[in-house]
Amino acid sequence: MKSDAISYPPRGLSRDEAARYVGVGSTLFEEMVADGRMPRPKHINSRAVWDRVALDIAFTSLPDKHNGLQQLLERSKKGSKEIE
């Protein structure tokens, strides 16, 4: 590959790079891909490559610590209102 004077992040990441990019280990990353929290890879010949932009979107969609709890509480309140 030819060297380039412009510096930019790669668009395609290996599994280990993608895991590091979102801040988790490769085993947890595989679990997140399997359960849909992270996107599936694109395939380039025999390589699995994760799209950095898709990872950004998936990461943004993850609940943060407080919002996750808030969403759980809201769902719990909705469920108890349906029972009444």
Structural domain includes residue 6: no
How much is the average pLDDT of 68-75?
69
Say how far apart CA 50 and CA 39 lie, in whole Å: 8
Q: What is the pTM of this model?
A: 0.70
Structural domain includes residue 1: no
Structural domain includes residue 47: yes
Structural domain includes residue 63: yes
Higher pLDDT, 64 or 59: 59
Domain of residue 38, residue span: 12-83
Structural domain includes residue 64: yes
Task: List pLDDT tens digits, range 8-55.
Answer: 889 999 999 999 999 999 999 999 999 999 999 999 999 999 999 999
Residues 61, 66, 67, 68: what is their CA dihedral angle, to the nearest 10 degrees?
70
Closest CA to 53 of 15, 25, 12: 12
Structural domain includes residue 51: yes
Number of domains observed in the structure of the chain = 1
Structural domain includes residue 45: yes
Structural domain includes residue 2: no
